[in-house]
C-alpha cells in the first residue's frame, strides 16, 4: 500500500467516524481541533489503525499523532516495518 492509498483509507475511516465528507479532510487537518475527535474517537481510530496495519500499534506512538498526516505517517511506518520483518 503506497502513501496515497494509505491517506485515502485513513481519510475515509476518519470521515466515517466524524460523519463528514472525506474530501473535506486534508492531511494538515488537526484531529482534535479541526475534526473534533474526542478521547472515545481516538480509541476508535487506534482500533482502525490496528485493523489496517494488522499490528498492535504502541500506545506511545498513538499519543503523538495530532494531524491526519501523523496518522498516515504512523501507518506507513508500521506497514514498512512489517514488510521488513516479514522479509518482503
Map out the domains of the chain with their CATH numbers. 3-83 (1.10.1200.10)
User: Which residue(s) pair with 14 in the sheet?
Assistant: none
pTM as predicted: 0.89
**Residues 51, 57, 60, 65, Cα dihedral to 10°:** -40
Residue 53, CB-side half-sphere exposure with 13 Å CA sphere: 24
Q: Rounded distance, CA 9 to CA 5, Å?
A: 6
Cross-strand pairs, 30: 67
Does residue 87 have a pLDDT over 70?
no
Supply the pLDDT for residue 14: 93
Mean pLDDT for the chain? 90
Q: What is the pLDDT of residues 39-78, one digit of tens each?
A: 898 899 999 999 999 998 888 888 899 999 999 999 999 9
Contacts of 34 (CB under 8 A, 6+ apart): none
pLDDT at 26 over 80: yes
Amino acid at each position: 500500500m503506497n502513501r496515497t492509498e494509505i491517506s485515502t483509507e485513513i481519510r475515509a475511516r476518519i470521515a466515517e467516524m466524524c460523519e463528514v465528507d472525506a474530501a473535506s479532510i486534508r492531511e494538515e487537518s488537526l484531529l482534535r481541533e479541526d475534526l473534533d475527535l474526542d478521547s472515545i474517537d481516538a480509541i476508535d481510530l487506534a482500533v482502525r489503525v490496528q485493523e489496517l496495519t494488522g499490528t498492535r500499534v504502541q500506545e506511545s506512538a498513538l499519543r503523538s499523532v495530532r494531524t491526519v498526516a501523523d496518522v498516515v505517517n504512523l501507518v506507513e511506518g508500521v506497514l514498512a516495518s512489517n514488510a521488513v520483518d516479514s522479509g518482503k
